[in-house]
Structure 1
Protein backbone atom coordinates (compact mmCIF):
# COMPACT_ATOMS: atom_id res chain seq x y z
CA UNK A 1 0.00 0.00 0.00
CA UNK A 2 1.53 3.29 -1.06
CA UNK A 3 0.50 5.88 1.51
CA UNK A 4 3.18 8.52 0.84
CA UNK A 5 4.78 8.44 4.26
CA UNK A 6 8.13 7.22 5.67
CA UNK A 7 8.15 3.62 6.78
CA UNK A 8 9.66 2.24 9.98
CA UNK A 9 12.46 0.60 8.00
CA UNK A 10 13.55 4.04 6.71
CA UNK A 11 13.81 5.33 10.26
CA UNK A 12 15.86 2.29 11.30
CA UNK A 13 18.20 2.72 8.34
CA UNK A 14 18.69 6.40 9.15
CA UNK A 15 19.46 5.63 12.80
CA UNK A 16 22.01 3.02 11.80
CA UNK A 17 23.70 5.50 9.46
CA UNK A 18 23.94 8.13 12.20
CA UNK A 19 25.44 5.58 14.59
CA UNK A 20 27.96 4.52 11.94
CA UNK A 21 28.93 8.15 11.36
CA UNK A 22 29.52 8.71 15.06
CA UNK A 23 31.64 5.59 15.52
CA UNK A 24 33.37 5.68 12.18
CA UNK A 25 34.58 9.30 12.31
CA UNK A 26 37.81 8.35 14.07
CA UNK A 27 38.29 5.49 11.67
CA UNK A 28 37.89 7.81 8.69
CA UNK A 29 40.32 10.27 10.18
CA UNK A 30 42.89 7.53 10.91
CA UNK A 31 42.54 6.24 7.40
CA UNK A 32 43.12 9.74 6.07
CA UNK A 33 46.21 10.05 8.26
CA UNK A 34 47.59 6.75 7.04
CA UNK A 35 46.81 7.78 3.49
CA UNK A 36 48.65 11.09 4.00
CA UNK A 37 51.73 9.32 5.27
CA UNK A 38 51.56 6.98 2.32
CA UNK A 39 51.30 9.90 -0.10
CA UNK A 40 54.17 11.65 1.64
CA UNK A 41 56.27 8.51 1.40
CA UNK A 42 55.53 8.19 -2.28
CA UNK A 43 56.39 11.84 -2.82
CA UNK A 44 59.63 11.33 -0.93
CA UNK A 45 60.57 8.43 -3.15
CA UNK A 46 59.66 10.48 -6.22
CA UNK A 47 61.76 13.41 -4.97
CA UNK A 48 64.75 11.20 -4.45
CA UNK A 49 64.36 9.92 -7.96
CA UNK A 50 64.28 13.46 -9.33
CA UNK A 51 67.32 14.47 -7.30
CA UNK A 52 69.20 11.45 -8.60
CA UNK A 53 68.44 12.59 -12.13
CA UNK A 54 69.70 16.08 -11.33
CA UNK A 55 72.94 14.60 -10.27
CA UNK A 56 74.65 13.85 -7.03
CA UNK A 57 76.55 17.13 -7.09
CA UNK A 58 73.39 19.21 -7.37
CA UNK A 59 71.85 17.39 -4.44
CA UNK A 60 74.87 18.00 -2.26
CA UNK A 61 74.85 21.74 -3.05
CA UNK A 62 71.11 21.94 -2.17
CA UNK A 63 71.69 20.12 1.08
CA UNK A 64 74.42 22.62 2.12
CA UNK A 65 72.23 25.62 1.27
CA UNK A 66 69.40 24.40 3.51
CA UNK A 67 70.11 25.73 6.93
CA UNK A 68 68.81 24.20 10.13
CA UNK A 69 66.41 27.14 10.52
CA UNK A 70 64.86 26.55 7.13
CA UNK A 71 64.48 22.87 7.96
CA UNK A 72 62.51 23.74 11.09
CA UNK A 73 60.27 26.06 9.04
CA UNK A 74 59.49 23.32 6.51
CA UNK A 75 58.69 20.83 9.23
CA UNK A 76 56.34 23.35 10.88
CA UNK A 77 54.56 24.05 7.59
CA UNK A 78 54.11 20.31 7.03
CA UNK A 79 52.47 19.81 10.43
CA UNK A 80 50.13 22.78 9.80
CA UNK A 81 48.99 21.32 6.45
CA UNK A 82 48.44 17.95 8.11
CA UNK A 83 46.27 19.56 10.82
CA UNK A 84 44.25 21.46 8.21
CA UNK A 85 43.59 18.23 6.31
CA UNK A 86 42.39 16.45 9.47
CA UNK A 87 40.23 19.43 10.40
CA UNK A 88 38.67 19.44 6.93
CA UNK A 89 37.73 15.76 7.23
CA UNK A 90 36.18 16.35 10.66
CA UNK A 91 34.24 19.33 9.33
CA UNK A 92 32.74 17.32 6.48
CA UNK A 93 31.80 14.47 8.84
CA UNK A 94 30.18 16.88 11.31
CA UNK A 95 28.15 18.57 8.56
CA UNK A 96 26.90 15.23 7.26
CA UNK A 97 26.07 13.99 10.76
CA UNK A 98 24.19 17.20 11.52
CA UNK A 99 22.17 16.84 8.30
CA UNK A 100 21.26 13.27 9.16
CA UNK A 101 20.18 14.28 12.67
CA UNK A 102 17.95 17.01 11.24
CA UNK A 103 16.39 14.48 8.85
CA UNK A 104 15.77 12.07 11.72
CA UNK A 105 14.03 14.81 13.70
CA UNK A 106 11.78 15.64 10.75
CA UNK A 107 10.89 12.00 10.13
CA UNK A 108 10.11 11.40 13.81
CA UNK A 109 7.39 14.04 13.56
CA UNK A 110 5.67 12.41 10.57
CA UNK A 111 3.09 9.64 11.06
CA UNK A 112 4.09 6.33 9.58
CA UNK A 113 1.81 4.15 7.46
CA UNK A 114 1.16 1.78 10.37
CA UNK A 115 -0.01 4.63 12.61
CA UNK A 116 -2.25 6.07 9.88
CA UNK A 117 -3.85 2.67 9.30
CA UNK A 118 -4.52 2.27 13.02
CA UNK A 119 -6.22 5.67 13.16
CA UNK A 120 -8.22 4.89 10.01
CA UNK A 121 -9.41 1.55 11.41
CA UNK A 122 -10.40 3.23 14.68
CA UNK A 123 -12.48 5.82 12.79
CA UNK A 124 -14.10 3.17 10.60
CA UNK A 125 -15.02 1.10 13.65
CA UNK A 126 -16.53 4.13 15.40
CA UNK A 127 -18.59 5.02 12.31
CA UNK A 128 -19.79 1.44 11.94
CA UNK A 129 -21.00 1.37 15.56
CA UNK A 130 -22.77 4.69 15.04
CA UNK A 131 -24.52 3.39 11.92
CA UNK A 132 -25.57 0.23 13.75
CA UNK A 133 -27.16 2.30 16.53
CA UNK A 134 -28.96 4.51 14.00
CA UNK A 135 -30.17 1.44 12.13
CA UNK A 136 -31.61 -0.08 15.30
CA UNK A 137 -33.40 3.19 16.07
CA UNK A 138 -34.90 3.23 12.57
CA UNK A 139 -35.98 -0.40 12.89
CA UNK A 140 -37.62 0.29 16.25
CA UNK A 141 -39.66 3.06 14.65
CA UNK A 142 -40.58 0.74 11.79
CA UNK A 143 -41.59 -1.96 14.30
CA UNK A 144 -43.97 0.46 16.01
CA UNK A 145 -45.44 1.43 12.65
CA UNK A 146 -45.84 -2.24 11.70
CA UNK A 147 -47.76 -2.93 14.91
CA UNK A 148 -50.10 0.00 14.30
CA UNK A 149 -50.70 -1.01 10.67
CA UNK A 150 -51.34 -4.61 11.64
CA UNK A 151 -54.01 -3.58 14.15
CA UNK A 152 -55.39 -0.58 12.26
CA UNK A 153 -54.50 -0.54 8.56
CA UNK A 154 -54.78 2.86 6.87
CA UNK A 155 -54.63 1.86 3.19
CA UNK A 156 -57.89 1.21 1.42
CA UNK A 157 -56.51 -0.78 -1.51
CA UNK A 158 -53.42 -2.67 -2.62
CA UNK A 159 -51.12 -0.27 -4.57
CA UNK A 160 -48.91 -1.15 -7.51
CA UNK A 161 -46.58 -2.97 -7.93
CA UNK A 162 -48.11 -4.98 -5.05
CA UNK A 163 -50.60 -7.74 -5.75
CA UNK A 164 -53.37 -9.22 -3.69
CA UNK A 165 -52.76 -12.87 -2.89
CA UNK A 166 -51.83 -15.23 -0.10
CA UNK A 167 -54.06 -13.44 2.36
CA UNK A 168 -52.38 -10.05 1.93
CA UNK A 169 -50.91 -7.42 -0.36
CA UNK A 170 -47.42 -8.52 -1.39
CA UNK A 171 -44.61 -7.66 -3.77
CA UNK A 172 -41.58 -9.81 -4.65
CA UNK A 173 -38.67 -8.24 -6.60
CA UNK A 174 -37.68 -11.00 -9.00
CA UNK A 175 -34.12 -12.40 -8.74
CA UNK A 176 -32.97 -9.74 -6.27
CA UNK A 177 -31.03 -10.94 -3.23
CA UNK A 178 -30.12 -8.75 -0.26
CA UNK A 179 -29.29 -8.94 3.42
CA UNK A 180 -32.17 -8.74 5.88
CA UNK A 181 -31.55 -5.07 6.71
CA UNK A 182 -31.09 -4.04 3.06
CA UNK A 183 -34.27 -5.89 2.11
CA UNK A 184 -36.22 -4.10 4.83
CA UNK A 185 -34.94 -0.72 3.68
CA UNK A 186 -35.99 -1.55 0.11
CA UNK A 187 -39.49 -2.38 1.30
CA UNK A 188 -39.57 0.81 3.37
CA UNK A 189 -38.89 2.91 0.27
CA UNK A 190 -42.11 1.49 -1.17
CA UNK A 191 -44.09 2.41 1.94
CA UNK A 192 -44.12 -1.22 3.01
CA UNK A 193 -42.20 -3.63 5.23
CA UNK A 194 -40.88 -7.16 5.07
CA UNK A 195 -43.74 -9.64 4.88
CA UNK A 196 -45.23 -10.54 8.26
CA UNK A 197 -48.48 -12.22 7.19
CA UNK A 198 -51.38 -12.99 9.47
CA UNK A 199 -52.18 -16.25 7.65
CA UNK A 200 -49.10 -18.44 7.09
CA UNK A 201 -50.95 -21.13 5.18
CA UNK A 202 -52.20 -18.64 2.57
CA UNK A 203 -48.77 -17.02 2.41
CA UNK A 204 -47.20 -20.39 1.56
CA UNK A 205 -49.55 -20.61 -1.39
CA UNK A 206 -48.39 -17.16 -2.55
CA UNK A 207 -44.71 -18.18 -2.35
CA UNK A 208 -45.30 -21.10 -4.69
CA UNK A 209 -46.47 -18.65 -7.36
CA UNK A 210 -43.40 -16.41 -7.24
CA UNK A 211 -40.55 -18.81 -6.54
CA UNK A 212 -38.08 -19.41 -9.36
CA UNK A 213 -36.16 -22.52 -10.24
CA UNK A 214 -33.04 -21.28 -8.44
CA UNK A 215 -32.14 -22.61 -5.04
CA UNK A 216 -32.40 -20.12 -2.20
CA UNK A 217 -34.60 -18.71 0.57
CA UNK A 218 -36.91 -15.78 1.33
CA UNK A 219 -36.29 -13.32 4.15
CA UNK A 220 -39.43 -12.64 6.19
CA UNK A 221 -40.33 -9.90 8.65
CA UNK A 222 -39.40 -11.88 11.75
CA UNK A 223 -36.26 -12.01 13.86
CA UNK A 224 -34.92 -12.38 17.40
CA UNK A 225 -33.22 -9.72 19.47
CA UNK A 226 -29.76 -11.08 20.44
CA UNK A 227 -29.44 -8.52 23.24
CA UNK A 228 -32.25 -10.16 25.21
CA UNK A 229 -31.36 -12.72 27.88
CA UNK A 230 -33.75 -15.28 26.37
CA UNK A 231 -34.28 -14.15 22.78
CA UNK A 232 -37.27 -15.45 20.89
CA UNK A 233 -38.40 -14.96 17.32
CA UNK A 234 -41.06 -12.33 16.78
CA UNK A 235 -42.86 -10.84 13.81
CA UNK A 236 -42.21 -7.15 13.17
CA UNK A 237 -45.60 -6.25 14.68
CA UNK A 238 -44.65 -7.91 17.98
CA UNK A 239 -46.42 -11.25 17.63
CA UNK A 240 -44.41 -14.26 18.77
CA UNK A 241 -43.26 -16.36 15.86
CA UNK A 242 -44.14 -19.94 16.74
CA UNK A 243 -46.09 -22.96 15.70
CA UNK A 244 -45.87 -22.25 11.98
CA UNK A 245 -43.21 -24.77 11.00
CA UNK A 246 -39.98 -26.54 11.76
CA UNK A 247 -37.51 -24.60 13.97
CA UNK A 248 -40.02 -21.77 14.22
CA UNK A 249 -40.22 -21.45 18.01
CA UNK A 250 -36.66 -22.16 19.15
CA UNK A 251 -34.48 -19.54 20.84
CA UNK A 252 -31.59 -17.75 19.23
CA UNK A 253 -28.71 -20.12 18.50
CA UNK A 254 -25.16 -19.51 19.65
CA UNK A 255 -23.88 -18.82 16.13
CA UNK A 256 -25.78 -15.54 15.93
CA UNK A 257 -28.40 -16.50 13.30
CA UNK A 258 -31.50 -14.55 14.26
CA UNK A 259 -33.48 -13.72 11.09
CA UNK A 260 -36.31 -15.93 9.86
CA UNK A 261 -36.37 -17.23 6.29
CA UNK A 262 -38.68 -19.48 4.30
CA UNK A 263 -37.28 -22.37 2.26
CA UNK A 264 -39.48 -22.53 -0.87
CA UNK A 265 -37.96 -25.80 -2.10
CA UNK A 266 -38.38 -27.56 1.25
CA UNK A 267 -42.15 -27.50 1.67
CA UNK A 268 -42.05 -23.79 2.54
CA UNK A 269 -40.58 -24.56 5.95
CA UNK A 270 -38.87 -21.92 8.08
CA UNK A 271 -35.23 -21.61 9.02
CA UNK A 272 -32.99 -18.94 10.52
CA UNK A 273 -30.08 -17.26 8.76
CA UNK A 274 -27.51 -14.67 9.71
CA UNK A 275 -29.00 -11.23 9.11
CA UNK A 276 -25.80 -9.43 8.11
CA UNK A 277 -23.89 -12.00 6.07
CA UNK A 278 -26.66 -14.00 4.39
CA UNK A 279 -28.35 -12.73 1.23
CA UNK A 280 -31.71 -13.96 0.05
CA UNK A 281 -34.87 -13.10 -1.81
CA UNK A 282 -37.51 -11.14 0.04
CA UNK A 283 -41.18 -10.26 -0.01
CA UNK A 284 -42.60 -6.83 0.88
CA UNK A 285 -46.06 -6.36 2.36
CA UNK A 286 -48.51 -3.49 2.72
CA UNK A 287 -51.32 -3.85 5.23
CA UNK A 288 -54.66 -3.01 3.63
CA UNK A 289 -57.95 -2.33 5.41
CA UNK A 290 -60.78 -4.77 4.71
CA UNK A 291 -58.69 -6.64 2.14
CA UNK A 292 -60.70 -8.95 -0.11
CA UNK A 293 -59.09 -11.63 -2.30
Structure 2
Protein backbone atom coordinates (compact mmCIF):
# COMPACT_ATOMS: atom_id res chain seq x y z
CA UNK A 1 0.00 0.00 0.00
CA UNK A 2 1.39 3.37 -0.96
CA UNK A 3 0.83 6.23 1.51
CA UNK A 4 0.81 9.83 0.29
CA UNK A 5 2.77 12.48 2.17
CA UNK A 6 -0.51 13.99 3.34
CA UNK A 7 -1.51 10.71 4.96
CA UNK A 8 1.86 9.90 6.61
CA UNK A 9 0.76 11.59 9.83
CA UNK A 10 -2.47 9.56 9.71
CA UNK A 11 -0.47 6.32 9.45
CA UNK A 12 1.29 7.16 12.69
CA UNK A 13 -2.09 7.40 14.39
CA UNK A 14 -3.68 4.46 12.57
CA UNK A 15 -6.05 6.54 10.49
CA UNK A 16 -5.18 5.49 6.90
CA UNK A 17 -8.04 5.66 4.49
CA UNK A 18 -10.03 8.46 6.08
CA UNK A 19 -9.74 12.20 5.72
CA UNK A 20 -9.81 14.25 8.87
CA UNK A 21 -10.58 17.88 9.49
CA UNK A 22 -7.86 20.51 9.83
CA UNK A 23 -8.54 20.71 13.58
CA UNK A 24 -8.01 16.97 13.98
CA UNK A 25 -4.74 17.23 12.03
CA UNK A 26 -3.52 19.99 14.32
CA UNK A 27 -4.49 18.03 17.43
CA UNK A 28 -2.71 14.90 16.16
CA UNK A 29 0.41 16.91 15.37
CA UNK A 30 0.31 18.50 18.84
CA UNK A 31 -0.02 15.08 20.49
CA UNK A 32 2.88 13.71 18.44
CA UNK A 33 5.08 16.64 19.45
CA UNK A 34 4.05 16.25 23.09
CA UNK A 35 5.12 12.59 23.03
CA UNK A 36 8.49 13.53 21.49
CA UNK A 37 9.05 16.25 24.10
CA UNK A 38 8.16 13.82 26.91
CA UNK A 39 10.77 11.33 25.63
CA UNK A 40 13.38 14.07 25.31
CA UNK A 41 12.65 15.47 28.78
CA UNK A 42 12.85 12.07 30.44
CA UNK A 43 16.37 11.63 29.07
CA UNK A 44 17.55 14.96 30.54
CA UNK A 45 18.69 15.18 34.12
CA UNK A 46 17.33 17.77 36.54
CA UNK A 47 20.77 19.40 36.52
CA UNK A 48 20.59 19.87 32.75
CA UNK A 49 17.22 21.58 33.01
CA UNK A 50 18.56 23.78 35.80
CA UNK A 51 21.47 24.77 33.54
CA UNK A 52 19.07 25.81 30.78
CA UNK A 53 17.06 27.90 33.21
CA UNK A 54 20.11 29.59 34.69
CA UNK A 55 22.08 30.64 31.65
CA UNK A 56 24.10 32.95 33.84
CA UNK A 57 27.71 33.74 33.39
CA UNK A 58 30.22 33.12 36.16
CA UNK A 59 31.30 36.55 37.38
CA UNK A 60 34.36 37.41 39.48
CA UNK A 61 33.69 38.86 42.93
CA UNK A 62 32.23 41.40 43.65
CA UNK A 63 30.34 41.25 40.33
CA UNK A 64 27.03 39.37 40.08
CA UNK A 65 25.41 37.77 37.05
CA UNK A 66 22.20 38.87 35.40
CA UNK A 67 21.85 36.42 32.54
CA UNK A 68 25.06 36.54 30.52
CA UNK A 69 26.14 39.93 31.92
CA UNK A 70 28.22 40.75 35.03
CA UNK A 71 27.45 43.82 37.16
CA UNK A 72 28.88 45.50 40.24
CA UNK A 73 27.20 48.19 42.30
CA UNK A 74 29.76 50.63 43.63
CA UNK A 75 28.41 52.49 46.67
CA UNK A 76 30.97 55.30 46.38
CA UNK A 77 29.19 58.43 45.27
CA UNK A 78 30.80 59.95 42.20
CA UNK A 79 29.82 62.12 39.27
CA UNK A 80 28.75 60.22 36.13
CA UNK A 81 32.13 60.74 34.42
CA UNK A 82 34.10 59.76 37.55
CA UNK A 83 31.91 56.67 37.97
CA UNK A 84 32.56 55.75 34.36
CA UNK A 85 36.31 56.22 34.85
CA UNK A 86 36.20 53.98 37.95
CA UNK A 87 34.41 51.25 35.95
CA UNK A 88 36.94 51.55 33.13
CA UNK A 89 39.85 51.22 35.58
CA UNK A 90 38.60 47.73 36.48
CA UNK A 91 38.17 46.72 32.85
CA UNK A 92 34.51 47.57 32.32
CA UNK A 93 32.21 50.50 31.82
CA UNK A 94 28.99 51.84 33.29
CA UNK A 95 26.21 49.27 33.02
CA UNK A 96 24.46 48.72 29.67
CA UNK A 97 21.94 46.03 30.67
CA UNK A 98 20.20 44.05 27.95
CA UNK A 99 17.20 43.93 30.31
CA UNK A 100 16.87 46.91 32.64
CA UNK A 101 14.14 45.30 34.74
CA UNK A 102 16.19 42.15 35.43
CA UNK A 103 19.12 44.30 36.56
CA UNK A 104 16.79 46.34 38.74
CA UNK A 105 15.40 43.20 40.41
CA UNK A 106 18.90 41.79 40.94
CA UNK A 107 20.03 45.00 42.63
CA UNK A 108 16.93 44.96 44.85
CA UNK A 109 17.51 41.30 45.77
CA UNK A 110 21.22 41.62 46.48
CA UNK A 111 21.16 44.97 48.24
CA UNK A 112 18.06 45.21 50.39
CA UNK A 113 18.86 48.37 52.31
CA UNK A 114 20.03 51.21 50.14
CA UNK A 115 20.30 54.70 51.55
CA UNK A 116 20.56 56.06 48.01
CA UNK A 117 17.96 54.88 45.52
CA UNK A 118 19.54 56.19 42.30
CA UNK A 119 22.54 54.88 40.35
CA UNK A 120 24.50 56.06 37.34
CA UNK A 121 24.36 53.70 34.36
CA UNK A 122 25.82 53.72 30.86
CA UNK A 123 23.84 55.68 28.37
CA UNK A 124 24.28 58.91 26.48
CA UNK A 125 22.16 61.65 25.04
CA UNK A 126 22.72 61.89 21.30
CA UNK A 127 20.26 64.59 20.27
CA UNK A 128 18.63 67.34 22.24
CA UNK A 129 16.20 69.92 20.91
CA UNK A 130 13.04 71.78 21.89
CA UNK A 131 10.95 68.63 21.21
CA UNK A 132 12.88 66.56 23.72
CA UNK A 133 15.94 64.36 23.69
CA UNK A 134 17.03 61.05 22.22
CA UNK A 135 19.07 58.67 24.35
CA UNK A 136 21.00 55.48 23.68
CA UNK A 137 22.74 52.88 25.79
CA UNK A 138 26.46 52.51 25.07
CA UNK A 139 25.54 49.55 22.85
CA UNK A 140 23.48 51.87 20.64
CA UNK A 141 20.05 50.56 21.69
CA UNK A 142 17.55 53.33 22.44
CA UNK A 143 16.70 53.97 26.08
CA UNK A 144 12.97 53.33 26.39
CA UNK A 145 12.21 52.69 30.07
CA UNK A 146 11.70 56.32 31.12
CA UNK A 147 10.08 57.31 34.41
CA UNK A 148 7.09 59.68 34.07
CA UNK A 149 8.08 63.11 32.72
CA UNK A 150 11.52 61.81 31.69
CA UNK A 151 13.69 62.37 29.69
CA UNK A 152 12.74 65.98 30.08
CA UNK A 153 15.73 67.57 28.28
CA UNK A 154 16.37 70.18 30.97
CA UNK A 155 19.61 72.04 30.44
CA UNK A 156 22.51 70.04 31.90
CA UNK A 157 20.62 66.75 32.40
CA UNK A 158 22.85 64.80 30.06
CA UNK A 159 23.58 61.62 32.03
CA UNK A 160 21.59 58.42 32.53
CA UNK A 161 20.38 57.26 35.93
CA UNK A 162 18.51 54.18 37.20
CA UNK A 163 15.87 54.71 39.91
CA UNK A 164 15.70 51.70 42.22
CA UNK A 165 12.09 52.24 43.36
CA UNK A 166 10.62 53.40 40.07
CA UNK A 167 8.78 51.64 37.28
CA UNK A 168 9.78 52.52 34.64
CA UNK A 169 13.18 53.24 36.17
CA UNK A 170 15.18 55.57 33.87
CA UNK A 171 16.01 59.25 34.45
CA UNK A 172 18.17 61.89 32.85
CA UNK A 173 20.03 63.94 35.43
CA UNK A 174 22.83 66.41 36.06
CA UNK A 175 26.17 64.71 35.36
CA UNK A 176 28.12 66.51 38.12
CA UNK A 177 25.83 65.30 40.91
CA UNK A 178 27.27 62.39 42.89
CA UNK A 179 25.58 58.99 43.16
CA UNK A 180 26.55 55.34 43.42
CA UNK A 181 27.01 53.68 40.03
CA UNK A 182 26.67 50.29 38.36
CA UNK A 183 29.64 48.84 36.47
CA UNK A 184 29.57 46.03 33.93
CA UNK A 185 32.38 43.81 32.68
What's 1:79 paired with? none
Where does residue 184 of structure 2 map in the other structure?
285
Superposed CA deviations along residues 183-233 of structure 1, whole A, max 9, x for unmatched, are 001000111111110012211111202253313410111121367897411
- Within-5 A mapping of 1:136-147: none
Residue 266 of structure 1: which of 154, 166, 169 is its match?
A: 166
1:232 maps to 134
Larger radius of gyration: 1
Structure 2 matches for 1:152-167, cutoff 5 A? 157-165=58-66
RMSD of aligned C-alpha atoms?
Answer: 2.8
The answer on whether the counterparts of 2:71 and 2:182 sit within 8 Å (CA) in structure 1 is yes
Question: What TM-score does the superposition give when structure 1 sets the normalisation length?
Answer: 0.38
Structure-2 separation of matches of 1:227 and 1:269: 21
Q: Distance in 2 between matches of 1:226 and 1:210?
A: 34
Structure 2: gaps (5+ residues) = 1-56
CA contact (8 A) 1:172 1:284 kept: yes
Q: What is the DSSP-based 3-state SS (H/G/I as helix, E as strand, rest coil) of the residue aligned with 1:172?
A: strand
Q: Which has the higher contact order (CA 8 A, sep 6+)?
A: 2
The structural deviation recorded for 1:258 is 1.5
The answer to which structure has the higher strand fraction is 2
- CA distance in structure 2 between the partners assigned to 1:259 and 1:181 by the alignment: 9
Q: How does 1:172-251 map to 2 (within 5 A)?
A: 172-173=73-74, 175-208=75-108, 209-210=110-111, 212-225=113-126, 231-242=133-144, 244-247=145-148, 250=151
CA contact (8 A) 1:167 1:197 kept: no
Note if contact 2:128-2:153 (Cα within 8 Å) is conserved in structure 1.
no
Structure with greater helix share of residues: 1
Give the unaligned 5+ runs of structure 1. Answer: 1-155, 287-293
| TM-score, L = length of structure 2 | 0.58
Correspondence for 1:137: none
CA distance in structure 1 between the partners assigned to 2:159 and 2:135 by the alignment: 8
1:56-75 matched pairs, under 5 angstroms: none
Q: How many residues align?
A: 127
